[in-house]
Structure 1
Amino acid sequence: MKSITINGSQRESVGKASTKALRNAGKVPCVVYGGEAPIHFSADEIAFKDLVYTPNVHTVVVALEDGTKVECILQDIQFHPVTDRILHIDFYQIFDDKEVTMNIPVKLVGNSRGVRNGGVLRIVNRKLRVKALPQDLPDFIEVDITEMRIGAKMYVTAVEQEKFKIMHSDNAVICQVRTSRTAVADEDEEEEEEGEEGTEAAAEAPAAEAPAEE
């Protein structure tokens, strides 16, 4: 997984007055949890644009002025209810030998057969929660929808997960192809249905009567 470096300054005071002063100066107060003690720091609001305003996910290296570097992931973020400015960010420190849980975006590839026949693709889960060691966290989870027909559902069990564990139940749906008014029947499905009907008709047809002996 790609990493983003955030250059910050350690906060000496964490009171309301100092927090307000930071925000007025265009900075975001932050905290890193998960280590021996919480690390309070601040950074310019613009420093978070590639971390927050993107569908991608990244690990974060918080680099402080005293030379301290902490590897972490974004855990929680608070926005102003009116202006949508970032008010506060919580990070969680990660370690190479400890598994971490993250929401990883789903990337759909392929052109669904059902969609080509007029069906509508509905994405149920755009991100999946996975658990893995930091070095095994994927940038995204690729899902091939090429063979999905109208009415088909893609479950999380279809995802290859050798290096990470998906933290959803097996019946969780990633996406599905729904029918629509413009949908047309799949040619292969029609052939299968016709074959089944022919077999059933042959099985139900009465046996020919043997000619009467004279």
Structure 2
Amino acid sequence: MKSITINGSKRESVGKKATKALRNAGQVPCVLYGGGEPLHFAADEIAFKDLVYTPDVHTVSIELGGGEKFNAVLQDIQFHPVTDAILHMDFYQIFDDKEITMEIPVHTVGTARGVKNGGVLRYNLRRLKVKGLPGNLPDFIEADVTALKIGNKLYVTALESEDYTIQHPENTVVCQVKTSRNIIADTEDDEDEVAPGDVPATETDDVAAVKE
């Protein structure tokens, strides 16, 4: 997983007055948890641009000067209700030998067979909560939807990996091909059909598709 470096400085005072002064100076007050006592620091708001305003996920290397460096993940963020300016950020320190839980984006691959026949691919989940060692977590999880016909659903069990554990029930649907007004008959020969065993964790619900 890609990492972003944040250069900051320790906060000597954490009172409301000091926090307001930091924000007025264009800095964001932050707290780092997970390594013992909470560590308070601040960094320029612009430094968080590539971490916050992106659909991707990253780990963070927090450098506070004097050789102090911490690996972490973003845990929580607070925005101003009117201006959307970043008010506060919480980070959680990570270690190479300790598992963490993160939400990883799902990227679909291929064009679903059902979409070619007029169906619509609908996403139930754009991100999956997974648990694993930091070095084993991917930038994204790849989901091949090529074999999905109208009425098929792709479950999280089709995306399992030895590198991480998916923190969702087995019956959780990632995406599915729904029927639409533009539906056409699937005219491909039966011998071109994908056997049920070749489409792990999918389910055909022809009755539901007809009703819709």
Q: State the match for 1:199 in structure 2.
A: none
State the 1:190 CA deviation: 8.0
Q: What is residue 38 of structure 1 aligned with on the other side?
A: 38
Match of 2:113 in 1: 113
Aligned position for 1:60: 60
| 1:57-96 CA-partner distances (Å, limit 9, x unpaired) | 0100100022200000000000111111111000000011
**Matched-pair contact (CA < 8 Å) for 2:160–2:166:** no
Match of 2:123 in 1: 123
- 1:151 and 2:151 aligned: yes
Q: 1:179 offset after TM fit, Å?
A: 0.2
1:73 partner letter: V
What is the CA-CA distance between 1:36 and the residue it aligns to? 1.4
Which amino acid letter does the alignment assign opposite residue 183 of structure 1?
I
TM value normalised by structure 1: 0.87
Query: 2: CA distance between counterparts of 1:189 and 1:4?
Result: 50
What is the rounded CA distance, in whole Å, between the counterparts of 1:137 and 1:152 in structure 2? 28
Residue in 1 that maps onto 2:96: 96
TM-score by length of 2: 0.88
Equivalent positions of 1:76-95 (< 5 A) are 76-95=76-95
Q: Paired residue for 1:167?
A: 167
**2:75/2:92 contact within 8 Å kept:** yes
**Identity of counterpart residues, as a percentage?**
67
Partner Cα separation in structure 2 for residue 126 and residue 68 of structure 1? 35
Query: Take 1:84 and 1:189, find their aligned partners in 2: how far apart are those partners?
Result: 54
Question: Deviations 1:145-203 (Å, cap 9, x if unpaired)?
Answer: 011111111000001311100000000010011000111121248899xxxxxxxxxxx
CA RMSD of aligned residues (A): 1.4
Q: Distance in 2 between matches of 1:191 and 1:94?
A: 50
SS in 1 for 2:162: coil
State how far apart, in whole Å, the 1-side matches of 2:67 and 2:34 are.
19
Match in the other structure for 1:71 = 71
Cα shift readout 1:117-159 (whole Å, capped 9, x = no counterpart): 1111111100000000111111100000011111111000001
Q: Which runs of 5+ in 1 are unaligned?
A: 193-214
2:208 alignment counterpart: none
Q: Which runs of 5+ in 2 are unaligned?
A: 193-212
Q: Give the match's secondary structure for 1:41.
A: strand
Task: Give the Å deviation of 1:22.
Answer: 0.5
In structure 2, the residue matched to 1:210 is: none
Matched with 1:204 is none
The alignment of Structure 1 onto Structure 2 pairs a total of residues equal to: 192
Tell me the equivalent position of 1:2: 2
2:60, 2:189 → 1: CA distance? 49
Q: Which moved more, 1:123-132 or 1:59-68?
A: 59-68
2:15 counterpart residue number: 15
Distance 1:176 1:74 in 2: 30
SS in 1 for 2:8: strand
Paired residue for 1:209?
Answer: none
Matched, 1:51 2:51: yes
Letter in 1 for 2:35: G
